């Protein structure tokens, strides 16, 4: 079905000029929104009409920082208690990623992508690590993404922590993946150059990465000042703060994503704004790891495009939005602060970030936009209009069920049922087997 009309629902367009569209139908053709108009204007169109009366039509949601590879850790209780962020890394994540094999990389992405569909997330910007299964890992993840029909921007997190040889493998994996995406464009798959963090990369590695980034004309995706320890390490060992050091190597550009940014100072924030890079806040992860809360209000004030990610704590972007708002209330010590900054991170800035890789209008519903659309079972009991829609998104729609998920015009889920040529039960059974074996090796 590459041509059909979606009608009957109230449209939230994520367009600041016309955020709410009433009594309009959407003609979808060849994966894009061809026309938005009253249903009567489509009387002569010979195609299927799908009525979603009484529901909300809105863009598929975008997750601007995720880790597919963490999927198989759900429920794991074997990690030692950790008193700070560095112990969280050494006791859990850096033990886990060393154990990942090819099929586990694939299955993690597959299960996470299916869950994303159920939660209305159609675009994911991912950050991968599997230091003893580096080569081809991004292609394995890409297979899962293609099978599920969502979109993803992939990278491999280069780090010195497992030795020079594995660092080189990571550099080569990123370069090979970026070249493949550039050589054979795919509307579902994009690429960035991944790095773990400044504190796990020496100057020699950063110099090599900088050369690749320049030659490939790409952006980077890196954790930046997630914990205060990142800043302390860079100051103690290199005499520079995180953003200053990365910038000295030319690694902060308009296509780059800095995840977290919890411990950036205003000077660093202004440098990020000057370079046009994005900072992606991940509030649930930051609270879970007790590293702090990013000052999203200050970042926004200084002109940074602040996006919203989940850091794999969830794939439910509306849940992340709610937690992010409460966190800003606490950070600002003022329950009146942070509403627009967090709301815009999801509905305005995540589309802006994604448009750097997928092109204009991604993450919105407009004529010419990609047909990445979700239908939410939400019949508001209070007025929903141009002045209240963001409040409904946070306090109402976030609690409602996603009925349908469409990506590139293809219906991936309808009435809560996946419409993919896969056996979800068999996938989850295999996932449990892999997780059990992984946990025994942990």
Residues 362-395 have pLDDT tens digits of: 999 999 999 999 999 999 999 999 999 999 999 9
- At 96 the pLDDT is 87
The whole-angstrom separation of Cα 303 and Cα 187 is: 29
The whole-angstrom separation of Cα 162 and Cα 172 is: 15
Which H or E element spans position 3? Answer: strand 3-7
Going from N- to C-terminal start, the domains of the chain cover 3-60+363-418
Task: Tell me the average pLDDT across 145-152.
Answer: 98
Cβ count within 10 A of residue 234: 21
Residues 198-241 have pLDDT tens digits of: 999 999 999 999 999 999 999 999 999 999 999 999 999 999 99
What is the three-class DSSP state of 335?
coil
* Entry pTM: 0.98
What phi, psi does 347 have (nearest 5°)? -90, -20
Residue 77 pLDDT grade (very low, low, confident, very high; cuts 50, 70, 90): confident
Task: Tell me the average pLDDT across 407-436.
Answer: 97
Residue 1 has pLDDT above 80, yes or no: no
- At 441 the pLDDT is 87
Which H or E element spans position 373? Answer: strand 373-377
Six token digits for residue 44:
């002569």
DSSP 8-state secondary structure symbol assigned to residue 186: B
Sorted by sequence, the CB contacts under 8 Å of residue 237 that are 6+ apart come out as none
Q: Are strands 25-29 and 20-21 parallel, antiparallel or unpaired?
A: unpaired
For every residue of 88-136, DSSP letters joined together read HIIIIIHHHHHH--HHHHHHHHHHHHHHHHHHTEEEEEE-B--TTS-TT
Residue 78 has pLDDT above 80, yes or no: no
56 burial (CB, 10 Å; 0-12 / 13-18 / 19+) is buried
3-60+363-418: what fold?
A: Urease, subunit C; domain 1 (2.30.40)
């Amino acid at each position: 079905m590459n041509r059909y009309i979606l009608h009957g629902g109230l449209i939230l367009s994520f367009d600041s000029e016309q955020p709410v569209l009433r009594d309009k139908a959407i003609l979808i053709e060849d994966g894009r929104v061809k026309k938005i108009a009253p249903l009567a204007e489509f009387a002569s169109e010979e195609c299927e009409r799908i009525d979603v009366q009484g529901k909300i039509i809105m863009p598929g949601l975008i997750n601007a920082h995720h880790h597919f590879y963490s999927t198989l850790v759900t429920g794991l209780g074997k990690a030692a208690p950790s008193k700070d962020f560095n112990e969280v890394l050494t006791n859990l994540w850096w033990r886990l990623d060393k154990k990942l094999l090819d099929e586990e990389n694939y299955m993690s992405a597959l299960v996470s992508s299916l869950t994303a569909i159920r939660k209305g997330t159609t675009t994911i910007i991912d950050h991968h690590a599997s230091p003893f299964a580096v080569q081809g890992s991004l292609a394995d993840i890409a297979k899962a993404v293609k099978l599920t029909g969502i979109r993803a921007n992939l990278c491999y997190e280069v780090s010195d922590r497992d030795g020079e040889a594995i660092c080189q493998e990571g550099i080569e994996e990123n370069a090979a993946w970026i070249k493949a995406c550039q050589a054979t464009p795919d509307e579902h798959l994009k690429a960035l150059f991944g790095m773990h963090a400044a504190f796990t990369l020496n100057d020699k590695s950063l110099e090599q990465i900088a050369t690749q980034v320049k030659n490939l004309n790409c952006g980077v995706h890196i954790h930046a000042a997630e914990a205060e320890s990142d800043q302390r390490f860079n100051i103690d060992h290199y005499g520079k703060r995180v953003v200053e050091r990365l910038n000295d190597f030319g690694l902060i550009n308009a296509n780059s994503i800095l995840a977290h940014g919890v411990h950036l100072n205003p000077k660093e924030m202004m440098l990020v704004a000057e370079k046009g890079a994005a900072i992606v806040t991940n509030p649930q992860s930051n609270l879970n790891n007790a590293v702090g809360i990013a000052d999203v209000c200050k970042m926004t004030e200084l002109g940074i495009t602040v996006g919203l990610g989940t850091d794999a704590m969830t794939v439910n972007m509306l849940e992340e939005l709610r937690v992010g708002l409460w966190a800003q209330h606490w950070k600002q010590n003022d329950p009146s602060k942070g509403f627009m900054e967090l709301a815009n991170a999801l509905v305005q800035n995540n589309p802006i970030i994604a448009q750097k890789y997928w092109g204009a209008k991604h993450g919105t519903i407009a004529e010419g936009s990609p047909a990445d659309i979700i239908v939410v079972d939400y019949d508001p009991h209070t007025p929903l209009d141009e002045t209240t829609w963001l409040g409904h998104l946070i306090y109402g729609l976030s609690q409602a069920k996603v009925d349908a998920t469409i990506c590139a015009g293809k219906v991936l889920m309808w009435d809560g049922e996946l419409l993919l040529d896969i056996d979800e039960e068999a996938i989850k059974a295999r996932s449990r087997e892999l997780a059990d074996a992984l946990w025994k090796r942990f």
